[in-house]
Structure 1
Amino acid sequence: MAPKLKVAVVGGGSVGLSFAVYLAQLGKCEIHIFESASAFTEIGAGIEVGYNALKVYKEMGIADEIHEFARDSSGDPSNIWFDVIFGDGRHGLTPIHTLRTPEDSTKLHRADLLSLLVSRLPKENVYFRKHLTTYEQMPGGGIKLHFRDGSTFDADVLVGSDGIKSTGRVRRVMYADKPEDAEPTWSATIAYRALLPISEVVRKLGEHTGRTPTLRLTASGQHIILFPVSHGKYMNLVAFVSDFTLGRHPTWPKQNWIEPSSAQEMLEDYEGWMEPVRSMLAGVEKVQRWAIFEVPLLASFVSGNVVLVGDAAHASTPHGGNGASQGIEDGHVLAQLLSHPLTTPATVSLVLKAYDAVRRPRAQAWQEAAYATGLVYECCGAEGDDEARVVQALEGRMDWVWGVGIHEQVGRAVRVFEESLRG
């Protein structure tokens, strides 16, 4: 038997580990995972696993456990995605519309998802405290990885799942000749993030609103997303503030992307909102202020035997909640291609080009859609704050995202690969 393809995965977040677990299940490759931290960790609290990503997790056999972690997240067994409420108080806490997913909601804590993936991960080839500095495409094929500690590693394929920020080293090396084409850009939006005990949210917003995923709208460039996590013990709060007059990619005026903040700072940005919401914000004890960045629309997700997945390739604004799910789709397609019977060290570059041909158009379409959705959420799009037009803009907006046929997507990628082999 031919030796297994050696795949190096740099970055151990939810996308990288989803890919690694699935690739291990397929059994055709030798997997090595390099993580810069001392343990697998995720930044942030809540994560939404979209219906499109759930299709992948069903194939992996872990969807039931995902649902178990997400149980009680929506406050009932319904498929409520979000109640839509205007934050200026024109209707109080009465929703103007309820958006629903094709199946029950799967919003959960990032740590819960990560722990599930880690439990399914082969542990023998996992390396911590490994900071990639650069890599080389070797003349005879394959990739040599170089780490800060002076060590190196040879692989047939390098998968960069190391995210958007400075840890996104694989993308930076890939685009070293044109760094401006790959440098993350600020989206003119910041977000306050916090976790609140759900009992406190219920006390301020009532039983239904305090337990139900909620999207609040206002005409002044702000919106709040609330959804329960950790089996309904906590409410994940993300409060966005945007200045779209600055344009799509203004200069971020600070050094740090994430800073400590306070309830008082949030209240200043949410002046004029209805009193129950302001009372909830006033009770937040620990809050961080995040600058929301994007990855530019890259010319390619691949170079030779190196490939980008997830946020390293197509980090988007979080509006619509499908960024991680797009990365999970990446992993599904890539794992199937790498496990194809005709995939060898000599054909890897063709495999990765097929991945790029199928995944890049869809992932980048999501990047554009996510940004446009933020305009609708904050009543800064063509709809303004006209309730009927806002509802119309939101209704069905996610159908093309959730409705993807994951097997059809893999089939297209396989056809592209097989056709390339025929020349």
Structure 2
Amino acid sequence: METYRGIATTLMNSRIDYPSVNARKGVLLNAGSEIEISHAIKGEMYRSTDIWYVLTNHTFVWSGTIHTPQSVPFIEKKLLITADDIGIVQEIDEGAKMALYNKWINSVAILVNGKTESNLTELYEFLKNNCSKSSDIPLIDTTHLGLHFTMTSGEPVANPADVGLLLDDKGCFKKFTKFNKDYEADQYVHQIILEFQAQYDKFKSVFKREPDHLTSHHDVLTFNRPLFHFMNEWSDKRNIPIRNHKFLPSGKRFWYDTLVLRNVDLPSISRMNDWKNDFGTKAYGPEHTFVAHYGPLPPLAVVDYNKQVRKKKKILKEGILDFLLSKDQVREIVIHLIKSENRRQRDLIKEHQSLLDLYSGIDIKYFDGRVAEYLSLKNNNPIKLSPWIAFLPCSQQAVT
């Protein structure tokens, strides 16, 4: 990885955690000290410039006191912050609406296979008729609306007779824990693509535009080579970004493999990288997907909300620091939230028990974790406290 030489022109401190003169002090640099620079980013405006250098020792220095014999590449940092699983549960949707209004997030991943379209049409009307705080631009024009394809929750949008291999005896999609090597067979892949097309068409019908990105519930489109190939090829043809399979932390893949999916050879990130190289498809959208905000894993309950919220804020802060230090230009942060006055897991389960009959596949045992994620964004949001990182702009595509 290429680095760049810099020389301090005066006595100065490097900074830790973020690019600001108010950040913690790092190493004291004397005039004439040589430093090794990774790249330049936007930071706090100080005197005449807001350009800061990221050093290879993971600290920041203000560029105004550094002489560089060669040009240092500037990376403009953009975030896509996506709330998953929108469109089914009213309280989850309300949490997303509040988060969009307050500029905590700028993206939603939408499930379109509920029993009715009421949640979807309500979301569409909300986005058309409301702006985020201190803005006069409708949210429909600033929000990334993504299709959250599912074949592991709810019922099919396609004719059930055409996708029978994917369904249980109640006509619902089989749980993702039932995923196995059969799903690599041509007849399974064919039915998955039929269902995908049906959900894609429904998305366009409701929201009057192409999806801004594609994700999949439980990341099922990354579970085997044929599905991974289909997803990448579809993205390539339409120039629509897909969620990057390069998860941070990468251990997300390990936990799926060892704890849940026993009947499938779940591909590692490295193997998916090889597949993508084999396919020759292009890369769109974020370079990595940050998923560390999720937890605790169900059925573990949140006992101390203050502690859990502090932990989640710390994780977000660490994730933002890692993004600034990296050479990624765009990164996605995945959020699972719900707006609820209930806190105890058992109360949330009782409140949403009927969901088990209306829509299978969303784990109500994690709703207390969703509450904690919502609360971690509500006050002293580490993302909003990082003004040098901008939201990824939304570029809509007309329905084709």
**Higher-strand-fraction structure:** 1
Q: TM-score, normalised by structure 1?
A: 0.26
- Higher relative contact order structure (alpha carbons within 8 Å, sequence separation ≥ 6): 1
